[in-house]
Amino acid sequence: MPTVLTKQERDRVIGSLQEHVLEWTEQLCDSLAENYKRYHRRMIESNAARFNGDGQRQDLSRYAQEQLDALNDGTFKGMKFSITTGKKYHKIISHDWCDRNNEWRSGGVHAFVNKHTGEIYKAASWASPAKHVRYDLRVIRDREYVLNPDNCGWSGGYLYMR
């Protein structure tokens, strides 16, 4: 015989899921930022790995060395991700650091997460998600995959249909 929940129990379960979805969405933002830092470090190091005529590594430019130092000491301001919440979705927005104005600028919508179900959608526009679910955060395998900084890509490639 199926278990029947009272309204209070049902509301508690739904509220708990929504809290988990928000927590997982925050973790996804952190993983995307970490993925970008790793990408940026690889680009700096691969550019520095170019060899001159005697086979020695070339010195980093002043800018590249500053970027690498900032990555190493935790002061790097390359890209971050934030969440805005609407009626149905958490919108993940990317932000780029503008040195000229010394402020974060919105870059665009990275993805939408259904705040009731945990389903992740690629962005179709600033205001709406694409039609098809890409991942479901309630599914442990999907959640472990997208929350791993090695798998989620800051540029959104992992959100294309698989």
Tell me whether residue 1 is in a domain: no
Tell me whether residue 59 is in a domain: yes
User: What are the DSSP calls for the chain, one per residue?
Assistant: -PPPPPHHHHHHHHHHHHHHHHHHHHHHHHHHHHHHHHHHHHHHHHHHT-B-TTSPBPPPPHHHHHHHHHHHHT---SEEEEEEE-SSEEEEEEEEEETTTTEEEEEEEEEEEETTT-EEEEESSSS-EEEEEEEETTSHHHHHHHTSTTTS-TT-GGGS--
Q: How far apart are CA 129 and CA 112, in angstroms?
A: 6
Cβ atoms of 78 and 40 within 8 Å: the answer is yes
- Cα angle vertex 156, ends 75, 93, to 5°? 60
Tell me whether residue 147 is in a domain: yes
Mean pLDDT within 130-151 = 96
Confidence of residue 46 (pLDDT cuts 50, 70, 90): confident
Q: Which domain holds residue 51?
A: 7-159
pLDDT in tens, 55-87: 455 666 777 788 888 888 988 888 999 999 999
91 CB burial (10 A radius; 0-12, 13-18, 19+): buried
The pTM assigned to this predicted structure is 0.83
Tell me whether residue 95 is in a domain: yes
Tell me whether residue 139 is in a domain: yes
The predicted pLDDT at position 51 comes to 47
Tell me whether residue 25 is in a domain: yes
How many distinct structural domains can be found in the chain? Answer: 1
pLDDT in tens, 101-123: 989 898 899 999 999 999 999 99
Mean pLDDT within 45-63 = 63
